Amino acid sequence: MSKPNPIELQKYLAGVDYPAQRDDLVRAAERNGADEGTLSVVRGLPDRTYDGPSGVSKEI
């Protein structure tokens, strides 16, 4: 699976209050209309706390 575009990813994660857990990121992506490919990538992130958008992008 290809990585989502970082700008699009952050659009789908809008409204997340960091630090955030993976489940928070998944809920935000679902709420913001992320496509299945992006949702799959976000769901596949390690289950840990992310301090901000750059941490999420780095993990992906």
pLDDT at residue number 2: 73
Taking only the tens place, the pLDDT of each residue in 15-51 is: 999 999 999 999 999 999 999 999 999 999 999 999 9
- Cα-trace Rg, the chain: 10
Cα separation, 11 vs 29, in Å, equals 8
Q: Are 60 and 3 in contact (CB under 8 A)?
A: yes
Residue 59 pLDDT exceeds 70: yes
pLDDT at residue number 43: 97
Of 37 and 2, which is predicted with more confidence?
37
Q: CA 33, 21, 50, 3 torsion: positive or negative?
A: negative
